[in-house]
Structure 1
Amino acid sequence: MAIWLLTPGHFIAAPALNLFEFARTLAGFITAVLVTPLIEELAFRGVILARLSANYGARVGLWGSALLFGASHLLNGRFQWQNALLILLAGTAIGLLLALVRATTGTLWASYLVHATFNGLPNLLMAQATPANDWPWTYLLTSHSLLLTGGEYGINTALANLVTYLLTAGLVFSRAKRHGWTLAQAELTRIQ
């Protein structure tokens, strides 16, 4: 969300909405918001975080699952080092945030809801550098800077969003600590 505050652009309506493309994009949106977060949460926070935590401790579990989550998103596009670095950093940061949400709440449902929201909002607002006819509106970015637009992987990997993920993870962790939660208390070895 930080991208709309920091990146110049404007909303435009699709000049000629292609209904077939809109239906396809809507199906993709529903999948990205409901199905993908469920599968990824079960895999990364339910299984990988649990196994790493059980075998190596909660700190390794949190960071290891986050790094694997970031690395798994390298498969989403062409491998160019600038784009790959952005997706690895952003994916690891959001993976750490989701792992902390899972660890501090004790349930996968909380990380699933955060993940679904994370996937949904940017896709709903459709911020991109080029206009498209597959959604009723687009936030057309007027900057073409890789750090502001996120490049090939989109605005979720933009520098402003990366900073936002890290700040949010820090806030989740510090708030949990203020309420007496410690990493040693994290029950991460089973799916809840």
Structure 2
Amino acid sequence: MKYLINTLKIIGTILLLFVVVVLAQNIGIVWHALHLHSFKYILHGITYLVVALLLFKLVANKVYKRNLAYFRITRFKFIKVCVLLGLLLPIVVMSFYLIFIPGHWVVTDLKSNQEYSAMLIEIFFLGGIVAPIVEEMMFRGFLLKYIEKKTNIYVALGLTSVLFGAIHLVNGKLTGMSLIMLLAAGTAVGLMYGLAAYKFNTVWASIPLHMFWNMSAVITLTDHNMEYGVIQYIIKANNTFLTGGTYGMDASGISIIGYITVAVLLIYWRRFYSTEKQKL
């Protein structure tokens, strides 16, 4: 009976947080009804972030009788190792493709400067800053901590990672290997983010990893012209392991290896750090 009750509570929490995020997102989208050109994207992002944070705080205080810090949503912390790994991951993955996979460069050609500025705001602000903060507060903040307390950290890391991978299925109709690669990649990257937040006890460990990966889309690795990013490196390959299938390079086998490598480094770096600290 206790297992059933905890399962229902976890499902209820997942649904509640999805409602919070969708509501915050839709409130932010209201700005698009106004003719504010590229500025509407900035207002959209700011509104989305502020509303989401306020709603998360309301849910934590009123529903769960906790403060945000309990859910690892702490004050800003600068964690050097996570910033460093966040920068290195996309650089190493991109370098692999540039060195070992033949391809050619294409400068993305958009119809107007307005479209170009909107794309940059989407990559660096909406996708690179706002989305990672909100998603990390939800998955590696609320859900990871709540599921951990109801079960254990292993179930929490596994469930939140699989769920994080699964939500990316809404981005398009995927079948076959494309579907498998996306689920594998989403789970692997979710595990990487989850381990960072858990090991350092704050979402400010996973946020820079998430931010820098998303921002790397300014240079798009692809197997066809996507008209996205400032420049594109279009590879000559049909192997789903290399291309990531329909979803793209984020779901490629090379990216998955990168996610897992960073996760392992976080585990062993934290152990090494703890051991050295005890010696002092």
Which category describes the TM-score, using the shorter chain as reference length? Answer: 0.7 to 0.9
Q: Are 2:221 and 2:232, in contact at CA under 8 Å, matched by a contact in 1? A: yes
Aligned CA distance change for structure 1 residues 172 and 9 (closer, same or farther; 3 Å): same
The residue aligned with 1:68 is 163
3-state DSSP of counterpart to 2:246: helix
TM value normalised by structure 2: 0.59
CA distance in 2 between partners of 1:134 and 1:3 (Å): 16
User: In the alignment, is the contact (CA less than 8 A) between 1:86 and 1:150 conserved in 2?
Assistant: yes
Looking at secondary structure, tell me which structure has more helix per residue.
2
Residue of structure 2 in register with 1:185 after alignment? none
Q: Given the alignment, which residue of 197, 214, 218 partners 1:119?
A: 214
What secondary structure is seen at the aligned counterpart in 2 of 1:152? coil
Question: Which residue, out of 109, 112, 117, partners 1:23?
Answer: 117
Question: Larger deviation: 25-34 or 92-101?
Answer: 25-34
> What is the CA RMSD across the aligned residues, in angstroms?
1.9
Determine the C-alpha separation between the residues in 2 that align with 1:136 and 1:26: 8
8 Å Cα contact 1:126/1:138 also seen in 2: yes
- SS for the counterpart of 1:126 is strand
Query: Do residues 86 (structure 1) and 177 (structure 2) align?
Result: no
Q: Secondary structure at the match of 1:95?
A: helix
Residue type of the alignment partner of 1:18: K
Q: Distance in 2 between matches of 1:171 and 1:13?
A: 35
Q: Is the 8 A contact 2:188 2:260 kept in 1?
A: yes
What corresponds to 2:205 in structure 1? 110
In the alignment, what sits opposite 1:166? Answer: 260
Give 1:95's aligned residue: 190
- 2:176 maps to 1:176: no
Output one character per residue of 1:137-156: Cα deviation in whole Å (capped at 9) or x when no partner. Answer: 21111213211111211101
Give aligned-pair identity as a percent: 27
AA paired with 1:127?
A: L
**Runs ≥4 residues deviating over 3 A:** 132-136
Distance, in Å, in 1 between the alignment partners of 2:184 and 2:236 is 24
* SS of aligned partner of 2:142: helix
What is the CA-CA distance between 1:133 and the residue it aligns to? Answer: 4.5
Contact 2:219 2:229 in 1 (8 A): no
The alignment of Structure 1 onto Structure 2 pairs a total of residues equal to 179
Contact kept, 8 Å, 1:22 with 1:135, in 2: the verdict is: no
* In 1, Cα distance between equivalents of 2:122 and 2:182: 20
Whether 1:145 and 2:239 are equivalent positions in the alignment is: yes
Partner SS for 1:18: coil
Tell me the TM-score normalised to structure 1 length: 0.85
Taking the aligned partners of 1:113 and 1:97, their CA distance within structure 2 comes to 12
Unmatched 5+ residue regions in structure 2? 1-89, 276-280
Q: CA separation in 2, counterparts of 1:135 and 1:64?
A: 32
